[in-house]
């Protein structure tokens, strides 16, 4: 697509930062961690791989949506005053230098440092004769049979080139018939970095091996040259106006449509001839503005493979999570929860306590029922194994599986089928809304009566993310909260129009209004007002306007926002009492905490919702109040203060939407929390 030049307008309006610009700033901070030499070498590789996967997803979802708007003639302005076309121009201008920086970082810093550390990535020409012979045999036996060359020009139809695949464009000359172009896809079923010797750390990339042996695919044909490229396609989809009973088949169809989505961007190897570029652009219906020329490595996902190399000195020290003392000293988990509410802080506390909550429910003869929401659970799931065991033991088990969890649909479909086969009552949510809340309810028969226990979390029931994401979860037997949780489940799995709850804040019904109501309440305390909010993203204009008004009333506001933040802090007369900090470190900051001073009677909530329109208007989200005043004090004094004091992994947002790193003075909140549980951390 051809893009217009940006109209004569500021990049941001007076009140809001552009969401896409702010997200790009976040990914710039991720890239900075790959640059940061204070991080171990293999961890820097991981950050670089994450940077690229973030950018791929950004193009698959956000940029593809903007292209659809632009091509559809949509002229609706964003809150900061930009059209879709202007945003696409801004994105291209911001992203191109970042991609160049990432390529330079690999070529001139990380790859040479790997070599110094004894990890070498060899080219075919650098291999010894023996190594070339061994690799040629490996190609013949393991790669050639699973690789398929496909002629892409000239042909009658347009051959399909799959999303995110790494490919070789092979220019061929066949006698008098002229130039032809074939595509060879680098297969994904084998490690891309091939280890040359089991006793050392020398590697050859799979695409190098294929490139050196291309003649095997085209016997008797002259190969003029071969060049690497990869394609990013539209991977977003919508489910509209479908009956709930059709949702599973609709998701299955949409997964196919995602694979076939329209191309939105192509990366090509530097030096790719113009004639090849023109053919590929025509095949993929792309313009030159959609093409990124990369000097170096295409497809940085292979860096995850290098990051797993067994060299502990080049990685973060192993972190062993704490087992919550209050749980380990009780005769039973349910007894401990009955005595007091318990906060679990991942990954500093062990995810085992959450797995134990569900597994204990599965085996406890007093438990009669379990209800659970599942959003992202991963390929291996002890939680689901416990739910299956509970169903086999004759307990009533009901599970809400969100099939629209982007990029986890395949796992969720497979688990949903397995749960149904074992007799679990499985629901699939709503066609027009995602169920994003993280809830588990356990009902026990105690002394002839039923008592409900609940877990409400900021993160997913996934052991993999529990090791790398910071999340909070509340275990409680509070009767008002557990009754609310059961009523939310009735709304999710049955037919209920309930919109009001005793203690929970639930979107899309009342969550935004109740958060704004509390922001406005702080404004009545003027200079004594205090707000601290920790989020993944702050985008919702109504919430931002309420925070501006509170700042103007004298309230001191600290926002800890990992990703996109559309609020402009530090603007005189509007937001001079608002500070925005972003923390990017070893763990992905994923917990959401809402803290309000409330005139000396502080109030705190945790839950699944960010302040974004999609969360507040198009998702089922839940925030739970922390009713125990001692836990509220700990959240403020020991957790939020730790993040506010962090001066190692922190960045401060400027009023123009740019970020500057806080000078490193030696205190990392994440490092401190690994050494001391937040329940004991002192300031």
Q: What is the CATH number of the domain that holds 212?
A: 3.30.1840.10
pLDDT at position 681, please? 58
For residue 301, tell me if it sits in a domain. no
pLDDT at position 682, please? 57
What CA–CA distance (Å, rounded) separates 98 from 94? Answer: 7
For residue 193, tell me if it sits in a domain. yes
Residue 175, classified by CB atoms within 10 Å of its CB into exposed (0-12), middle (13-18) or buried (19+), is: exposed
Q: What is the CATH number of the domain that holds 630?
A: 3.30.870.10
pLDDT band at 674 (very low <50, low <70, confident <90, very high): very high
pLDDT at position 680, please? 67
From the list 423, 444, 431, the residue with the least C-alpha distance to 402 is 431
Structural domains counted in the chain: 4
For the question of whether the overall pTM of this predicted structure is more than 0.85, the answer is: yes
Residues 530 and 647 both lie in one domain: yes
pLDDT at position 564, please? 97
pLDDT at position 334, please? 93
From the list 285, 288, 172, 300, the residue with the least C-alpha distance to 230 is 300
pLDDT at position 291, please? 95
pLDDT at position 189, please? 86
pLDDT: is 235 or 165 the higher one? 165
For residue 12, tell me if it sits in a domain. no
CB neighbour list of residue 4: distance below 8 Å, 6 or more residues apart: 85, 86, 89
pLDDT band at 406 (very low <50, low <70, confident <90, very high): low
Residues 82 and 135 both lie in one domain: no
Residues 139 and 226 both lie in one domain: yes
Residues 165 and 282 both lie in one domain: yes
Q: Above 70 in pLDDT, residue 4?
A: no
What is the per-residue pLDDT across 35-91, written as a single tens digit (0 to 9) for each? 999 999 999 999 999 999 999 999 999 999 999 888 888 888 999 999 999 999 999
Domain boundary, last residue among 318, 341, 370: 318
| Helix or strand holding residue 227 (H, E) | strand 222-233
pLDDT at position 676, please? 83
Residues 280 and 142 both lie in one domain: yes
Q: Above 60 in pLDDT, residue 260?
A: no
Domain boundary, last residue among 465, 493, 521: 493
pLDDT at position 594, please? 98
Domain boundary, last residue among 436, 468, 493: 493
From the list 7, 6, 25, 5, the residue with the least C-alpha distance to 563 is 25
For residue 47, tell me if it sits in a domain. yes
Look up residue 246 and give its DSSP letter. G
For residue 5, tell me if it sits in a domain. no
Q: For residue 488, what are its two tokens?
A: 């939310």
Cis peptide before 680 (omega within 30 of 0): no
What is the per-residue pLDDT across 237-249, written as a single tens digit (0 to 9) for each? 554 433 334 555 5
What CA–CA distance (Å, rounded) separates 345 from 324? Answer: 9
pLDDT at position 615, please? 94
pLDDT band at 12 (very low <50, low <70, confident <90, very high): very low
pLDDT band at 677 (very low <50, low <70, confident <90, very high): confident
Residues 480 and 511 both lie in one domain: no
Residues 358 and 311 both lie in one domain: no
Q: Above 80 in pLDDT, residue 258?
A: no
- Note whether 463 and 386 are within 8 A (CB): no
Q: Kindly report the three-state secondary structure assignment for every residue of 472-522.
A: EEEEECCHHHHHHHHHHHHHHHCCCCCCCCCCCEEECCCHHHHHHHHHHHH
For residue 145, tell me if it sits in a domain. yes
pLDDT at position 250, please? 52
Residues 481 and 378 both lie in one domain: yes
Mean pLDDT over the full length of the chain? 90
Residues 134 and 92 both lie in one domain: no
pLDDT band at 328 (very low <50, low <70, confident <90, very high): low
Exactly one of 201, 345, 436, 509 is catalytic; which is it? 436
pLDDT at position 143, please? 97
Residues 99 and 140 both lie in one domain: no
pLDDT at position 241, please? 37
Q: Is 436 a catalytic residue?
A: yes
Q: Above 60 in pLDDT, residue 2?
A: no
Residues 312 and 214 both lie in one domain: no
pLDDT at position 557, please? 98
pLDDT at position 409, please? 64
Determine the length of the chain.
Answer: 683
For residue 591, tell me if it sits in a domain. yes
Read off the pLDDT of each residue in 407-432 and give the average, rounded to a whole number. 78
Read off the pLDDT of each residue in 203-220 and give the average, rounded to a whole number. 96
For residue 108, tell me if it sits in a domain. yes
pLDDT band at 180 (very low <50, low <70, confident <90, very high): very high
What CA–CA distance (Å, rounded) separates 168 from 269? Answer: 10
pLDDT at position 268, please? 97
From the list 441, 438, 461, the residue with the least C-alpha distance to 351 is 461
Domain that holds residue 69: 18-117+307-318
Residues 334 and 482 both lie in one domain: yes
């Amino acid at each position: 697509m051809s893009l217009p030049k940006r109209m004569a307008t500021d990049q941001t309006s007076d009140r809001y930062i552009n969401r896409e610009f702010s997200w790009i700033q976040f990914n710039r901070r991720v890239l900075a961690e790959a640059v940061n030499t204070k991080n171990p070498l293999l961890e820097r590789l991981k950050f670089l791989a994450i940077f690229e996967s973030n950018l791929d997803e950004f193009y698959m979802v956000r940029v593809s949506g903007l292209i659809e708007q632009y091509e559809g003639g949509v002229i609706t302005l964003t809150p900061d005053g930009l059209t879709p076309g202007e945003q696409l121009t801004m994105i291209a201008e911001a992203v191109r230098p970042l991609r160049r920086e990432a390529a330079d970082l690999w070529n001139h810093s990380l790859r040479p440092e790997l070599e110094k550390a004894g990890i070498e990535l060899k080219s075919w020409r650098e291999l010894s004769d023996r190594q070339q012979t061994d690799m040629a045999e490996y190609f013949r036996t393991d790669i050639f049979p699973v690789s398929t060359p496909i002629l892409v020009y000239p042909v009658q139809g347009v051959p399909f080139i799959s999303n995110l695949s790494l490919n070789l464009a092979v220019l061929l000359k066949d006698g008098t018939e002229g130039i032809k172009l074939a595509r060879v896809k680098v297969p994904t079923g084998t490690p891309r970095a091939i280890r040359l010797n089991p006793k050392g750390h020398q590697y050859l990339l799979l695409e190098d091996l294929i490139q050196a042996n291309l003649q095997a695919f085209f016997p008797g044909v002259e190969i003029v040259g071969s060049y690497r490229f990869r394609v990013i396609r539209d991977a977003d989809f919508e489910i509209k106006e479908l009956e709930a009973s059709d949702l599973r088949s609709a998701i299955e169809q949409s997964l196919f449509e995602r694979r076939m989505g329209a191309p939105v961007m192509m990366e090509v190897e530097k030096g790719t001839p113009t004639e090849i570029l023109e053919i590929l652009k025509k095949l993929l219906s792309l313009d030159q503005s959609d093409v990124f020329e990369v000097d170096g490595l295409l497809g940085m996902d292979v860096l995850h493979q290098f990051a797993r190399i067994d060299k502990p000195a080049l990685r973060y020290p192993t972190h062993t999570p704490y087992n919550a003392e209050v749980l380990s000293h009780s005769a039973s988990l349910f007894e401990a929860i009955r005595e007091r509410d318990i906060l679990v802080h991942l990954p500093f506390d062990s995810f085992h306590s959450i797995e134990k909550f569900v597994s204990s429910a599965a085996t406890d003869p007093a438990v009669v029922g379990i209800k659970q929401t599942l959003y992202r659970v991963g390929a291996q799931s002890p939680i689901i194994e416990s739910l299956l065991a509970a169903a086999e033991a004759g307990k009533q088990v009901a599970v809400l599986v969100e099939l629209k969890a982007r990029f986890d649909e395949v796992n969720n479909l497979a688990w949903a089928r397995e749960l149904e086969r074992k007799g679990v009552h499985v629901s699939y949510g709503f066609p027009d809304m995602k169920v994003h809340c993280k809830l588990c309810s356990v009902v026990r028969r105690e002394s002839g009566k039923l008592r409900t226990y609940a877990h409400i979390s900021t993160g997913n029931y996934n052991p993999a993310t529990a090791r790398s994401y910071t999340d909070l979860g509340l275990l409680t037997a509070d009767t008002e909260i557990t009754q609310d949780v059961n009523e939310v489940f009735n709304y999710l799995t049955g037919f209920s129009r309930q919109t009001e709850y005793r203690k929970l804040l639930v979107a899309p019904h009342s969550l935004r209004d109740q958060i704004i109501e509390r922001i406005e309440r702080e404004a009545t305390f003027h200079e004594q007002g205090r707000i601290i909010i920790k989020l993944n993203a702050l985008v919702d204009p109504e919430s931002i306007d309420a925070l501006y008004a509170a700042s103007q009333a004298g309230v001191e506001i600290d926002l800890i926002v990992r990703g996109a933040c559309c609020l402009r802090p530090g603007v005189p007369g509007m937001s001079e009492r608002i500070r925005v900090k972003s923390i990017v470190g070893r763990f992905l900051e994923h917990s959401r905490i809402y803290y309000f001073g409330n005139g000396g009677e502080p109030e705190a909530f945790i839950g699944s919702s960010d302040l974004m329109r999609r969360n507040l208007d198009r998702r089922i989200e839940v925030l739970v109040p922390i009713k125990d005043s001692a836990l509220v004090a700990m959240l403020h004094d020991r957790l939020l203060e730790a993040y506010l004091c962090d001066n190692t992994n922190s960045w401060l947002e400027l009023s123009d939407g740019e970020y500057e790193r806080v000078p490193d003075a030696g205190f990392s909140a994440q490092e401190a929390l690994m050494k001391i549980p937040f329940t004991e951390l002192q300031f």
